[in-house]
Structure 1
Amino acid sequence: MKPLSKYFSDTLSAFPGLEAHQFFQIHGLRKNSVHTKPIVELRISSDVSFDVVPSLIFSTYSLYTRCVDQKHTLYIIIDARQCSDECLYRFLEAVRPAASWLDGTIDCILWVVGSSLQILETAITTDLILSRVRNIVTDIEGIAGHVETSNFSTNLNGLIDPSVTQHFFHLRFCLEELLKRTHRTAKLYMQLHENMKRFKAPYDLKTIDISSLRMQTDELDKQWAGVKDEADVVFLRHRGKILCDELQTQYPVLEHLDPFLYSDAVKRAVSGFEEVSMVMQKSNSSFAKRLKSLRCALEAVEFLNYVPEVGDGNNRLTSQMKQVEAKAAEIIKHMEEAGGRLEAVTHLLEEGSIADADRQSISEALDTFRSFLTNSEQHITDVRRIVQAALDSRILIDQIC
């Protein structure tokens, strides 16, 4: 048989649509009870799915065990008034495979029968589970002789309204959901913290393999994104606070049903959620810083690798700059000569006796030549500025390296 889950949610998810509170009620530990055991009320009849019963019993025991530093075995009241011998046989057959899991979880079973069950007495002495616990057989009138009426439901002439226990069952489910998701999230972040130790920012960047550093950065980013998107983390981020508020406001109304579980489990669950929430915030900050440091290191290594490539080009630029300067001086000399020539002929339009057609040709030639000189001078200036900027960058790179 596969292991029983210690969580209600796992049990109920395996049986979609199951309304467990219709046949399984947890009355817990009560102030006015002479028993020091959580009380559970179970109805067995032909309409009950017996396959889920072992998991419900085990998850109830596990819930109380997780809430305190001691084990609380269960006191189970079984309503077998509508159970035939065949029905009881099927019930025992369904529970028997879980004997090793249920061993030590039950202190006493109070059987409430309507008529004699022929196989019950035999089962009590021979069944693997029943033979190891106390068994009491009574009718409905005799229940109060063993358990106070305030500790079982009106279905058995007790004082507990089933609708109240239904609501309490829902709150227990919420409590367990919070405990389970908080625990799993804490383990997840602990594991991520251990993994993060492998992702340390390098110190000697000149000896770093850029491919390895890039892989580390991508892996840490992927792990962190996976944690942030994990179902339990998303649930706590969006529903955790709401669930805490619901438990803290609604549980006190039902505190008389189980003050033990309220005062202990709810406080532990809320405290655990608050601690994990703080861990999540601090961890997210740490992961962000570590990821940023790796990315900065990667950027620095890429830059250091880029420097030699730029250096070769800048060396060529230095040589070319001298050629540019020499060429610029030669061109400037020609431009100055051309400018003087331009100034020398401008008087022709004013002083010379020139036909209109020729005057137009000379005017256009002067304009074209003047524009050419202006553009050439600007082009020389731009080329010198660009080459000088490249050389200045080289100086800065040399200073960094």
Structure 2
Amino acid sequence: MRPQCDPSCFVADHLKKVPPSGIRRFFDIVCEADDVISLGVGEPDYITPWHIRESCIHSIEQGETSYTSNYGLLELREQISELFSKKYNVEYNPESEVLVTTGVSEALDIAIRAIVNPGDEVIVVQPSYVAYVPSIIFAGGVPVTVSTKMSNNFKITPEELKNVITENTKAVVLNYPNNPTGATMDKADLEAIADVVVDNDLMVISDEVYDCLTYEGEHTCFSSLEGMRNRTILLNGFSKSYAMTGFRIAYALGDSEIINSMMLIHQYTMLCAPIVAQLGAMEALRNGNDELDKMIREYDRRRNLIVDGLNRIGLECFEPKGAFYAFPSIQSTGMTSSEFAENLLDDQKVVTIPGDVFGEAGQGFLRCSYAASKDEIQEALERIETFVNKT
């Protein structure tokens, strides 16, 4: 009889360093529980606008179900290039500097793998989206975190960035508007960061998937800054702005050498993004602005509702100026982020995400998504207040 083996012995060592996503754990709870109000998962509560869905249905009826170019449909890439030219005055060649990907998560993964050699350090500004650090580890890189503070509206300063740069630093990952804090950086803030990037010969991976969801001031595209175009891999997509999360459709913009390197990985792992999703994205760019504007106005109203409510309850919350997240402090309760979130769920059936899921800088905070109806937000605030008054 052949001896039995332990399959866990074959799991790659670097995977053992990466815990499961703390966000998905709470998402699973929402799916299984009744009478739960979720301020947890960062997904629009809107259905994809009908004209986008209709275009996808029509494309299937017409038999448009084939592979596309590895780079994506040229017409879609041309639309994306035109968008950035008009909106941010930065030019990308649609034939060689635009890559259509299966969500921003894939774009992030292949961007990091395209530039990181084993041992290269990549700086992650925290609190940060949960995929950044694992993606660096998967590529054999070394994540180096730098913490931002509520006292500075969760903005990274040039000095904080300089303090973590070493001779092994290859790149920095930026995300503004930020998930989970909702923080934004204005042009002057980013210009100061750009100076540090140039002085230390770094690349920037700029995740700007929430660029359209900016409520005060104007979003600054990092690659539009002087000298930053060829130092930036810009990531963006359709999930948040057009309520197309399940379509898994996004893109990366950058210098042709970088984009071609990313395409090689994409070519052998994904081949191409689904054609139906690409056609839906084209319709979104052609005719989606009216629906987008309506969503932005409604998110802004919800933003004011939840921030005012959290502050009234006594959970100090700075004013987020982008994305659809509030990031209140729960330090006054004496509980850790995980304790507060888990006890709140058990006691009041309100789902929030512990801030420390997004890095050590998030300890003492919660992420509360206001991609929920105003009635749900109001009910959640009442339940949170009841919980806080008990503690």
Same fold (TM over 0.5): no
Q: Which structure shows the higher strand fraction?
A: 2
Q: Which has the higher contact order (CA 8 A, sep 6+)?
A: 2
Q: If the length of structure 2 is used for normalisation, what is the TM-score?
A: 0.25
Which has the greater radius of gyration?
1
Higher share in helix:
1
TM-score normalised over the length of structure 1? 0.24
